[in-house]
Chain A
Amino acid sequence: MRRLALSLILLAGACVASPASANPPDTFGFGSRETAMGGAVAAETRGFAASYYNPAALARSRGLEVGIGYFRADHSLEMNGRDNGVDPVKGMNAGVVVPGTLLGIPFAFGIALHLPDDRISRVRALRQEQPRWELYDNRNQRLFLAANLAIEPVPWLWIGGGLSFMSSTRGRLDISGGANVFRPDDSRLRHEVDADLTAVRYPQGGVRVALGPRVALAAVYRGEFQLGLDLSAHLFGDISGLTTALYALQTRSINNFLPQQVVLGASWAVTDRLKTTFDATWIDWSAYVAPVARLDAVLDIPPPPSGWPSTVTPPTTPAPTRIAPLRMYDRVVPRVGVEWHALGERKNKGFLRAGYELAKSPIAAQNGATNYVDRDRHTISLGIGGRFEDLLPELPGALLLDGHVQLSELPTEATLKASPADLVGDYTAGGRILNVGITAGFAFEKKDAPSAPARGTR
């Protein structure tokens, strides 16, 4: 009873975080073993990858586990048969799992990190009419950092949860003083910049149930997350003693919206050497907020006493942005995976893996003014892995080496514009994404712990 109460407390703790983009792991996986199995691993993951796929599975580790890997996903995404130069997503995946016991209950703490090569995060607020690969252009260009805690209250149950972290931006720019339009170098302007990077957290939690030695079920929840970008500018001053000018600008946008997700997964060890997995992920895409900046501006330049010269056309206040709604549909993404213990019996083992994922596009047909481009995505993945136990007498544990290749195909389809006067017009779009990576890990395992995954689902 005490164990159950503690489990509930931990799970509740994971869920009180404030609601906080797409994660690179959502699209490209986290860890080569899991990516090779199509990401269908909610009931099968273990080690540091569990921090993303199912935090509950962290508690499957019995000894310290560290892992580090690298992947690179290259986009060949085209519109009208021409490459759009969508930046690759590349970087390091790493994590650590530290297990222990608390009040006699096995627990584990895990940290997972995706650290991009190029940037920690990128914010883009494009005009809504500008064509962009909405789910691939910018949303995956960001850091992923998660910390989780998991327990194993009873030998058939694992519960875990934690938080992921990011930062949103608020900024203000004030400029005041006098501008000399005749001698710009004599202008006296004062600048003041005030910017806040506010921590944003979002929860994730999961549960895993072993129905026996060969079958396990899992459920995972990942919270909603969005990065806000609020910028304001306030300019006020005197123009050459002729008149004054006030320009106030406020822009608000949401970037990298990550909808909440619920994953149901299953794992079945068909034989001692063959394991199959299945995940279905519900994604709340209908709550998506388009990353378009809402712009409000005030411009007030009263005419000079002598009126405006005939050669000057005073500027007028721009109209606020009329934002066209972006309609998106909730989707269920099915994933299947298979792992075959192909080589070795005792200390050295070799694995072959494969997976498939179908991610139907959640974005409604873009036949209006907006151009949030997306297509259905069929992803197949293949991988190999090796587990080498006790390579050196002074290094007790297992060295894990995995590699993956993942190919996503986005079939080319035409977007037909309803209005012939659309400035973008009809276009075709499609392409593919190639993701290649490797992961190395080491599991310092206790000799008496039943954590070796070679048999069954435990």
Chain B
Amino acid sequence: MNMQEPRLRRAALPSVIAVLSVLAACATTGAEGEGDRNLPTAGVGPFRELEAEEMKGLAPFVFEDPKALYREPAVLRDGGSTLLYAVARVDGKDVIVRTRALDDRTFFGTSGHFGQKPHIVLEPDKLWEQALSGPSVVRFRGDILLFYSGAEGIGLARSADGVSFRKEPGPIFSRDPVPGSWEPAAPRAPSVYVLPDGRLRMFYAAGPAVGEAESDDGIEWRRLRTGPVLAPAEPPSAGSLLPNERPPFDGASVGDPCVVTRTTPAGRFHVRVLYTGADATGATAIGLAARYGETGPLVRQPAPVYSVGQNEAAPALLELGDSSYVYVHQDRRDGNDTFVAIAAAFAPANMKLPPPGDFPDSP
């Protein structure tokens, strides 16, 4: 037997132990770790409110004025700007104004932008336009179409620059004249999108539900179904709720549709609609309903995508590739007073936004 072997073993073992100890010490220096970069998302929430360091004014309100009562936003991407159209109270009547932000958050003419006011793009001047509400903007054949609703239905105005609009003389979509129709009132809150083949589609609210119509030119519209595409949620069956689980947030009514489309990574045409849901107590939240393909009823997402208990309503979605904003109107408390203002929320919720930019030079 070689007598050197035990000696070498004695020499080797401490060396191995020493090396292992040094390497073990290195095992405590790990970074937090990743694995959650670039995760897929349908781009429609859930959303979180903007935070104070992401805003110029009081978070999450991006467009506010206690006198103008900005509400019912609609958004449109225009190069590097975000155009926001909203209903406002000016000189005692409701009008539609336009404002602009370069960072999607710092809008021209909000209360912190001293001395500046948004541009009025549409004023009611006909009887049917009373109770002006629900603007929706879409690009179509080189124009910007502005749909809005009045007491007797939905109207249309056109513009080449998004500032000066020409109105159609009367409503382009009115209450369904068919006897027994599911629509108990004149349609309101339009949201319009363009199909890949160039046809226009409109989701609109009527009573407690949402319907759908189609047009080739934006003037002549025809209803697509004899029933709504989205109705309030059915009440839960007895015993189906977990302890502390709440019944559907949209069991009483659905409205204010905001539609966006995309083609999924798997190649399916995907219609997504954000809407205002209300329960029997009148509490509201923003929900999501969607479908694959051009036709058919919308399927609801059971959980709201934005819910803060502040009477949030009238969502407008802005998609920016990896992220998206939803603009809503909700209650803003100022001491003992409360007024409605436009707030912004962001998704994905775990992404932090850079500090806000400057106000733009013009609306």
Contacts and interface: CB of A to CB of B under 8 A. Distances in A.
Contacts of B175: none
A130 B39 contact: yes
A395 B8 contact: yes
A219 interface: no
B264 A133 contact: no
A341 B259 CA distance: 67
A82 B322 CA distance: 11
Contacts of A395: 8
Interface string A286-319: 0000000000000000000000000101001111
B45 interface: yes
B266 interface: yes
B26 A117 contact: yes
Interface in A65-79: 66, 68, 78-79
Given A122-B33, A319-B242, A311 B333 contact: yes
Given A421-B288, A421-B299, A423-B44, A86 B34 contact: yes
B41 interface: yes
A122 B4 CA distance: 44
A87 B16 contact: no
A311 B271 CA distance: 38
B352 to A, nearest CB: 16
Interface in B1-40: 1-2, 4-5, 8-9, 12-13, 16, 19-20, 23-24, 26-31, 33-40
Interface string B281-298: 000000011111000001
Given A87-B35, A424-B41, A119 B12 contact: no
Which of B12, B33, B34, B43 has most A Cβ within 10 Å? B33
B243 interface: yes
A143 B24 CA distance: 10
B266 A68 contact: no
Given A85-B37, A320-B242, A426 B266 contact: yes
B188 to A, nearest CB: 23
Nearest to A420: B290
Given A131-B39, A132-B35, A421 B289 contact: yes
Given A83-B37, A96-B16, A395-B8, A423 B270 contact: no
A64 interface: yes
Given A79-B40, A320-B243, A394-B4, A425 B35 contact: no
Contacts of A320: 242-245
A322 interface: yes
A199 B28 CA distance: 19
Given A86-B34, A130-B39, A394-B8, A92 B23 contact: yes
A375 to B, nearest CB: 14
A325 to B, nearest CB: 15
Interface in A426-458: 426-428, 442, 444, 446-447
B237 interface: no
B20 A113 contact: yes
A86 B37 CA distance: 8
Contacts of A113: 20
A137 interface: yes
A137 B301 CA distance: 28
A131 B44 CA distance: 16
Contacts of A447: 2
Contact of B264 (A82, A91, A119, A425): A425
A414 B272 CA distance: 20
Interface in B219-246: 242-246
Which of B31, B35, B46 has most A Cβ within 10 Å? B35
B39 A84 contact: yes
Contacts of A420: 270-272, 290-292, 298-299
Interface residues of B, number: 59
Given A80-B40, A320-B244, A428-B265, A115 B46 contact: no
Nearest to B2: A396
Interface majority SS (helix, strand, loop, mixed), chain B: loop
Interface residues of A, number: 62
A138 interface: yes
Nearest to A143: B27
A357 B41 CA distance: 32
B309 interface: yes
A51 interface: no
Contacts of B270: 420, 425-426
A370 B301 CA distance: 14
A443 to B, nearest CB: 11
B27 A118 contact: yes
B8 A316 contact: no
Nearest to B293: A420
Contacts of B58: none
A247 B291 CA distance: 40
A197 interface: no
Contacts of A446: 1
A313 B311 CA distance: 13
Contacts of B264: 425-427
B268 interface: yes
B290 A119 contact: no
A226 B301 CA distance: 33
A421 B301 contact: yes
Contacts of B160: none
Contacts of A85: 34-38
B244 to A, nearest CB: 4
A414 B266 contact: yes
B42 interface: yes
Contact of A115 (B24, B44, B271, B333): B24
Given A118-B31, A319-B245, A416-B266, 5 more contacts: A79-B38, A116-B30, A118-B33, A421-B288, A423-B305
The 4 closest A-B pairs by CB, nearest first: A118-B30, A425-B42, A85-B37, A427-B40
16 contacts: A66-B12, A82-B37, A84-B35, A84-B37, A92-B20, A92-B23, A116-B30, A117-B27, A122-B33, A317-B244, A419-B301, A420-B299, A424-B42, A425-B43, A426-B266, A427-B265
Interface of A: 63-64, 66, 68, 78-87, 91-92, 94, 96, 113, 115-120, 122, 130-133, 137-138, 141, 143, 311, 313, 316-320, 322, 394-396, 414-416, 419-428, 442, 444, 446-447
